[in-house]
């Protein structure tokens, strides 16, 4: 079932018509209640369908990504289409095993008996996705929900309009449309959806909207996974390999033009290492663009729309720092140069807002101790990066800070291994997914204890005699 809402949305190119959100949710719920989504075979078929879609329709999907934000085909393939096909194939491979009851060891006090954790579906899940990796961030939570035996309503982002259209058209051709519905739409549609009752809401997007989602979910005590944003810091120790560090940081800002939830947001480095690091990033940007700059460069993504370009242009002014690299932008082309700004004011918008674009502030600190304090004085980030050749120092910096995830000597890569659960902490989100953690997120991990009746220990029952008390106090 693919449904389109048509109403005026300034930022969106999707065709919008009013849709019967409540009716669709109710239909999908009826399907769930019929038991159709529970068999493992059904789940496997849907996951196969999604993988088939990603493989057969990759030209259309990559073209939609390019139309929405000038995403280079290779980036579209690696971060959205191809990467997701591999992840969903791995979920498909493991779903039967994950869905099996998990036997647990019982303590003496619970003997005799057998204990199990029985994963069961929650019901109807709502997945709301953002525009920056619009296929990845819609399909991967959907796949986890399907693997766990849920029915799903999925809402792509209206800001990636071509991709939204493509997904709404293609998904029902490859999966069971009675149980899996795509509803296109803007904030009004998302708001309508949040008025319905779901059994899980999986939201990816900004922290401010995350709060709205959590508030709406509270009405029905619906569990939520919130994959949010924030400022992900980078701590560069004096022991770091500066050439590699500069290249990897530059790549973290080049990829999707920095419009990545776990993009490095700002760097903390001592004066001793700072200038070499900035030089190394400048060299890396030059190499990436073959010396031709980034405007009209097919390997460099555009900013998603004019509103976000204007927002980033605002961050390029009034920061009080020194522009060491880049600094140019073009509203018509929705382009912002990869830009490094050294020592902006700590209270400038650049250092208070999540940047979500190709601008990287570099802050000089006295020591890594000061860097840790700087990070710990702010909201808990989604990702934290440490660059150090001194492994003990790296461990110490990780141990003295917190974040949803962390990566040493690289950026963004900790998202890749499916066995590393992905998610935020505090303002950067709550809950985890990827691999089995996603399956568990969309499951009720039901505890079941089976007791035999052959033996019925009277010790438990009143009257509470002195003899029983002595025994119980000894064994429990």
Give the residue numbers marked as catalytic: 227, 261
Contact pick of 429, 431, 435, 438 for ligand NAD (by CB under 6 A): 429
Q: What is the DSSP string of 289-317?
A: TTTS-STT-TTSPPPSSHHHHHHHHHHTS
Q: How many Cβ atoms sit within 10 Å of the Cβ of residue 163? A: 31
User: Is 152 an interacting residue with respect to ligand NAD (CB under 6 A)?
Assistant: no
Judged by beta carbon, residue 281 or residue 382, the one nearer ligand NAD is 382
Q: Where are the alpha helices (DSSP H) in 383-465?
A: 391-399, 435-441
Binding mask 244-263 for ligand NAD (x = CB under 6 A): -----------------x--
Contact pick of 28, 54, 209, 362 for ligand NAD (by CB under 6 A): 209
d(CA 116, CA 445): 10
User: Is 184 an interacting residue with respect to ligand NAD (CB under 6 A)?
Assistant: no
Judged by beta carbon, residue 190 or residue 284, the one nearer ligand NAD is 190
Contact pick of 37, 46, 157, 196 for ligand NAD (by CB under 6 A): 157
- Nearest Cα neighbor of 326 from 271, 343, 335 is 335
User: Is 131 an interacting residue with respect to ligand NAD (CB under 6 A)?
Assistant: yes
- Nearest Cα neighbor of 434 from 148, 144, 218, 204 is 144
The token pair that represents 219 in the structure block: 């009405």
| Least Å from the CB of residue 125 to ligand NAD | 15
User: Is 205 an interacting residue with respect to ligand NAD (CB under 6 A)?
Assistant: yes
Judged by beta carbon, residue 256 or residue 273, the one nearer ligand NAD is 256
Of 131-139, 372-380, 444-452, 463-471, the window that binds ligand NAD (rule: CB under 6 A) is: 131-139
Of 61-69, 175-183, 184-192, 324-332, the window that binds ligand NAD (rule: CB under 6 A) is: 184-192
CA dihedral sign of residues 63, 417, 202, 25: positive
User: Is 158 an interacting residue with respect to ligand NAD (CB under 6 A)?
Assistant: yes
Contact pick of 128, 181, 217, 341 for ligand NAD (by CB under 6 A): 128
Q: How many residues bind ligand NAD (CB under 6 A)?
A: 29
Q: Which residues contact 302 (CB under 8 A, 6 or more apart)?
A: 69, 70, 257, 333, 334, 335
User: Is 132 an interacting residue with respect to ligand NAD (CB under 6 A)?
Assistant: yes
Determine whether 235 is exposed, middle or buried from the number of CB atoms within 10 Å of its CB (0-12, 13-18, 19+): buried
Of 18-26, 153-161, 311-319, 369-377, the window that binds ligand NAD (rule: CB under 6 A) is: 153-161
d(CA 457, CA 476): 14
81 in Cβ contact with 53 (< 8 Å): no
Of 221-229, 240-248, 395-403, 442-450, the window that binds ligand NAD (rule: CB under 6 A) is: 221-229
Phi, psi angle pair for 190, to nearest 5° = -60, -40
User: Is 215 an interacting residue with respect to ligand NAD (CB under 6 A)?
Assistant: no
Contact pick of 66, 228, 363, 388 for ligand NAD (by CB under 6 A): 228
Contact pick of 38, 42, 89, 206 for ligand NAD (by CB under 6 A): 206
Which residue's beta carbon is nearest to the bound ligand NAD?
A: 229
Site for ligand NAD in 75-114 (CB under 6 A): none
Judged by beta carbon, residue 194 or residue 351, the one nearer ligand NAD is 194
The string over 374-391, giving b where at least 16 C-beta atoms fall within 10 Å of a residue's C-beta and e elsewhere, is bbeeeebbbbbbbbbeee
Q: Distance between terminal CA atoms of the chain?
A: 55
| Least Å from the CB of residue 7 to ligand NAD | 12
**Radius of gyration of the chain from Cα atoms?**
25
The string over 76-104, giving b where at least 16 C-beta atoms fall within 10 Å of a residue's C-beta and e elsewhere, is bbebbbbbbbebbbbbbeebeebbeeeee
User: Is 365 an interacting residue with respect to ligand NAD (CB under 6 A)?
Assistant: no
Order of strands, sheet of 383-387, starting from the edge strand that comes earlier in the sequence: 322-325, 339-342, 359-365, 266-270, 233-236, 383-387, 405-408
Contact pick of 17, 34, 191, 465 for ligand NAD (by CB under 6 A): 191
User: Is 159 an interacting residue with respect to ligand NAD (CB under 6 A)?
Assistant: yes
C-alpha 408: how far from chain center: 19
Judged by beta carbon, residue 213 or residue 284, the one nearer ligand NAD is 213
| Binding region for ligand NAD (CB under 6 A) | 128-132, 137, 155, 157-159, 186-187, 190-191, 194, 204-206, 209, 212, 227-229, 261, 354, 356, 382, 424, 429
């Amino acid at each position: 079932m693919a449904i389109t809402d048509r109403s005026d949305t300034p930022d969106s190119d999707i065709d919008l018509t009013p849709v019967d959100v409540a009716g669709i949710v109710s239909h999908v719920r009826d399907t769930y209640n019929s038991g159709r989504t529970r068999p493992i075979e059904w789940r496997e078929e849907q996951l196969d369908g999604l993988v088939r879609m990603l493989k057969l329709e990759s030209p259309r999907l990559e073209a939609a990504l390019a139309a929405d934000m000038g995403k280079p085909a290779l980036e579209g393939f690696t971060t959205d289409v191809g990467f997701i096909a591999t992840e969903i194939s791995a979920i498909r491979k493991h779903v039967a095993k994950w869905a099996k009851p998990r036997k647990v060891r019982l303590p003496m006090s619970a003997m005799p008996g057998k204990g199990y954790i029985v994963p069961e579906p929650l019901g109807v899940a709502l997945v709301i996705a953002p525009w920056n990796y619009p296929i990845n961030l819609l399909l991967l939570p959907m796949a986890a929900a399907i693997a766990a035996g849920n029915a799903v309503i999925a809402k792509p982002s209206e800001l990636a309009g071509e991709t939204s259209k493509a997904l709404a058209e293609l998904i029902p051709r490859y999966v069971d449309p009675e149980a899996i519905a795509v509803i296109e739409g803007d904030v009004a549609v998302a708001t309508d959806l949040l008025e319905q009752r779901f059994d899980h809401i999986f939201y990816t997007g900004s922290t401010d909207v995350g709060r709205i989602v959590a508030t709406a979910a509270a009405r029905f005590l619906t569990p939520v996974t919130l994959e949010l944003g924030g400022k992900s810091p980078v701590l560069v120790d004096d022991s770091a390999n500066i050439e590699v560090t500069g290249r990897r940081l530059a790549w973290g800002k080049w990829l999707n033009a920095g419009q990545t939830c776990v993009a490095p947001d700002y760097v903390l480095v001592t004066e001793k290492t700072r200038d070499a690091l900035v030089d190394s990033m400048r060299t890396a940007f030059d190499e990436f663009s073959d010396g031709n700059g980034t405007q009209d460069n097919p390997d460099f993504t555009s900013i998603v729309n004019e509103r976000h370009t204007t927002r980033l242009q605002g961050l390029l002014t009034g920061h009080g720092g020194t522009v060491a690299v880049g600094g140019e932008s073009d509203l018509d082309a929705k382009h912002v140069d990869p830009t490094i700004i050294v020592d902006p004011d700590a209270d400038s918008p650049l250092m208070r807002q999540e940047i979500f674009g190709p601008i990287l502030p570099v802050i000089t600190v006295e020591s890594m101790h000061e860097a840790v304090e700087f990070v710990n004085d702010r909201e808990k980030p989604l990702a934290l990066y440490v660059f150090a050749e001194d492994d003990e120092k790296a461990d110490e910096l990780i141990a003295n800070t917190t974040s949803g995830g962390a990566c040493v000597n690289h950026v963004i890569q900790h998202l890749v291994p499916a066995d590393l659960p992905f998610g935020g902490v505090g303002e950067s989100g709550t809950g985890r997914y990827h691999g089995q953690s996603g399956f568990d997120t969309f499951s009720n991990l039901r505890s079941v204890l089976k007791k035999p009746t052959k033996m019925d220990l009277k010790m438990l029952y009143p009257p509470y005699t002195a003899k029983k008390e002595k025994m119980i106090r000894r064994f429990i």
